[in-house]
Amino acid sequence: MNTAISFEPETLTVEENLLAEMLRAADVVGEIYGVENSELSLTLTDDEHIYALNKKYRGVDRATDVLSFAFRESDEPEVVDAGFEILGDVIISLERAKVQAVEYGHSFLREIIFLEVHGLLHLLGYDHMDDDERREMEEEQRFIMGKLGILRE
């Protein structure tokens, strides 16, 4: 998968091995779901920025851990004859991920990759609005995390 990782604000940083694992996770998801020639944007941010996005686009007045914006669900014009699909954007709060890793008792890397996988599944059409959808999405998340070899510690 053609994956671009950016930071907002640009002063944020993470270790290189985390970025490499994020790229690997996107590639594995791409292979599993047949979207390996797609484009994906991953943004790593802080609570302040994700709060503003959550309020603006979802009307939710709080920070969250991950947001997904699927290109196919947007008002953007379709890219014709490009040879690839633009999946969309996944935005992850590094601050929320750190807190949640401690809360759930696993590594920061595991939490970031889990949030990325969760966001990617949303881009691919999965949701968790009702119990059946939630169970299906949770099964997919477990399957992908297992394929990545990143299990609960």
Least confident of 9-13, 85-89, 121-125: 85-89
Average pLDDT over residues 12-32: 97
pLDDT digits (tens, 9 = 90+) for 33-88: 999 999 999 999 999 999 999 999 999 999 999 999 998 654 444 555 556 678 99
CA 38/CA 147 separation, integer angstroms: 20
Tokens of 90: 């996944």
What is the predicted pLDDT for the residue at 133?
Answer: 93
AA identity, residue 73? E
Q: Which domains does the chain have, with CATH numbers?
A: 2-148 (3.40.390.30)
pLDDT digits (tens, 9 = 90+) for 84-112: 678 999 999 999 999 999 999 999 999 99
Average pLDDT over residues 132-143: 95
Average pLDDT over residues 124-138: 93
Say how many C-beta atoms besides its own lie within 10 A of residue 115's C-beta.
24
Cα angle for residues 51, 71, 77 (degrees, 5° grid): 125
